[in-house]
């Protein structure tokens, strides 16, 4: 029988690793990820979770150990946040270039200085060029489901890339919500045992990652790009298949809410997307034709879906809980890049909000939407990037 548990997203992530029958975990503690690795330790040491657990001495080593474990044929898991994630930057490139389907929850947290342990997506979004697939979750159920889906996706031979599953610091990591955990048998049907295509094997000695000359390097990188393109097709398919098995669907690449007839569309990520739905309902009651599109997958970026959304909308208001210094919010940037080849483009305004864990509630979003609606009616935006609630 499927069971409903009420727990934090971090604990749920640990249960998802167990449900995915992960074989090797290598992890290092960092706030606000700690309760993932603590719960895994409890599950492993009580014998409920039959896995090898390597308590490494840094996040850099966590990722390097995951590479070794995945290359030696194990389904592999780690989790991190913020400074731990950016310390992994180098081995993350090595993991994706090695085509290893490692899955890693990232508790999105701000980077210092000053020390700040609260929500911010600059940590993971600044890793966008590492060749990792990136999912962003809006609630605890989605965290569980996406971890299972991520293994299914990453281990597909058309993909063979690692994936991050991002959940915002405290807003999700430490918040209790009811989550339905399906029967293990059914999960096993959906996600069979890991069958790697190649492996470190003494009976078939291969050298992984040796010198790659200019004659070959580009071809290997092209294959990674092809896999990212394949992921755009497979992610919605796997989300649908998951929903057939377990009843939950999360929107594939983009979780759209009341977008069909919307003039103004809010583009969001993570829990800001949940708050945006409340704002949409409130503003629709006031007569504004507004919708919300929550970007669930940042890499590969769903540019085709963005183009489709742009066909009928007059304006996009893009809300970023992160900033690429010297440019603008990550999603605003990617949205514009996705549309630059289109003839009819909606107005696009970027809003930087909630950095370092500042609250972004439906009220904040309504304010953003009203400002945007004003600009939409005038037919031009006053500011490309607005810092919301900034102390002057």
Partner 1 sequence: MGETKIIESIKGLSKEEYLLKGHIACAGCGATIALRLLFKALGNRVIMVIPACCSSVIPGPYPYTSFAVPVQNIIFESTGATASGVVAALRKRGINDVTVVGWAGDGGTFDIGIQALSGAAERGTDFIYICYDNEAYGNTGVQRSGATPYGAWTTTTPTGKKERKKDMPFIMAAHKIPYIATACPSYPIDFIRKLRKAREIKGTRFIHLLAPCPTGWRYDASKTVQMGRLAVQTGMWVLFEIEYGRFKLNPPSDELIDKAKRRPLEEYLTLQGRFRRLGEEDIQKKQKWVDEDWERYRRYHQTMCLI
Residues that bind partner 1 in the complex, under the rule CB under 8 A: 23-24, 26, 51-52, 54-58, 60-62, 64-74, 76, 90-91, 94, 200-202, 204-213, 216
Instruction: Tell me which H or E stretch contains 15.
Output: helix 9-19
68 vs 356, which CB is nearer to partner 1?
68
58 vs 342, which CB is nearer to partner 1?
58
Neighbour-count burial for 177-205, b at 16+ CB within 10 Å, e otherwise = eebebbeeeebeebbeebebeeeeeeeee
Query: In whole angstroms, what is the distance from residue 181 CA to residue 130 CA?
Result: 31
In angstroms, what is the minimal distance from the CB of 246 to partner 1?
27
In angstroms, what is the minimal distance from the CB of 11 to partner 1?
23
In angstroms, what is the minimal distance from the CB of 37 to partner 1?
15
Nearest to 355 by CA among 322, 386, 326: 322
59 vs 120, which CB is nearer to partner 1?
59
In angstroms, what is the minimal distance from the CB of 124 to partner 1?
21
In angstroms, what is the minimal distance from the CB of 39 to partner 1?
19
Answer whether 185's CB lies under 8 Å from 155's CB. Answer: no
Query: In whole angstroms, what is the distance from residue 122 CA to residue 135 CA?
Result: 14
Burial class (CB in 10 A: 0-12, 13-18, 19+), 385: middle
Task: Please count the other Cβ atoms lying within 10 Å of the Cβ belonging to residue 57.
Answer: 9
62 vs 169, which CB is nearer to partner 1?
62
In angstroms, what is the minimal distance from the CB of 96 to partner 1?
13
Answer whether 378's CB lies under 8 Å from 342's CB. Answer: no
Query: In whole angstroms, what is the distance from residue 251 CA to residue 376 CA?
Result: 27
92 vs 353, which CB is nearer to partner 1?
92
71 vs 386, which CB is nearer to partner 1?
71
């Amino acid at each position: 029988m499927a069971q409903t548990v009420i727990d934090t997203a971090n604990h749920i992530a640990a249960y998802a690793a167990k449900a995915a029958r992960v074989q090797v975990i290598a992890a290092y503690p960092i706030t606000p990820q700690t309760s993932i690795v603590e719960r895994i330790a409890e599950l492993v040491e009580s014998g409920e979770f039959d896995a090898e657990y390597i308590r490494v001495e840094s996040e850099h080593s966590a990722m390097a150990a995951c590479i070794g474990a995945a290359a030696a044929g194990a389904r592999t898991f780690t989790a991190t946040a913020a400074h731990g994630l950016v310390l992994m930057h180098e081995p993350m490139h090595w993991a994706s270039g090695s085509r290893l389907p490692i899955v890693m929850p990232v508790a999105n947290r701000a980077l210092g200085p000053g020390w700040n342990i609260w929500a911010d997506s600059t940590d993971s979004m600044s890793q966008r060029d590492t060749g990792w697939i990136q999912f962003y979750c809006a609630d605890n159920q989605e965290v569980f489901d996406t971890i299972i889906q991520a293994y299914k996706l990453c281990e597909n031979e058309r993909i063979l890339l690692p994936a991050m599953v991002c959940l915002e610091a405290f807003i999700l990591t430490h918040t209790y919500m009811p989550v339905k955990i399906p029967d293990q048998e059914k999960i096993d049907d959906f996600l069979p045992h890991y069958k790697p295509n190649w492996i470190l094997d003494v009976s078939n000695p291969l050298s992984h990652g040796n010198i790659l000359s200019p004659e070959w390097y580009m071809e290997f990188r092209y294959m990674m790009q092809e896999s990212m393109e394949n992921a755009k097709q497979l992610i919605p398919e796997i989300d649908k298949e998951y929903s057939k098995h377990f009843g939950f669907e999360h929107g594939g690449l983009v979780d759209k809410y009341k977008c069909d007839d919307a003039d103004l569309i809010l583009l969001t990520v993570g829990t800001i997307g949940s708050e945006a739905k409340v704002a949409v309902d409130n503003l629709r009651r006031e007569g504004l034709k507004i919708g919300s599109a929550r970007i669930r997958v940042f890499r590969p970026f769903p540019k085709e879906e963005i183009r489709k959304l742009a066909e009928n909308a007059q304006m996009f208001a893009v809300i970023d809980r992160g900033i690429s210094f010297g440019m603008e919010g990550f999603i605003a940037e990617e949205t514009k890049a996705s549309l630059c080849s289109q003839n009819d483009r909606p107005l696009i305004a970027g809003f930087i909000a909630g950095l370092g864990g500042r609250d972004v509630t439906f009220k904040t979003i309504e304010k953003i939407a009203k400002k945007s609606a004003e600009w939409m009616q005038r037919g031009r935006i006053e500011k490309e990037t607005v810092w919301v609630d900034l102390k002057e």
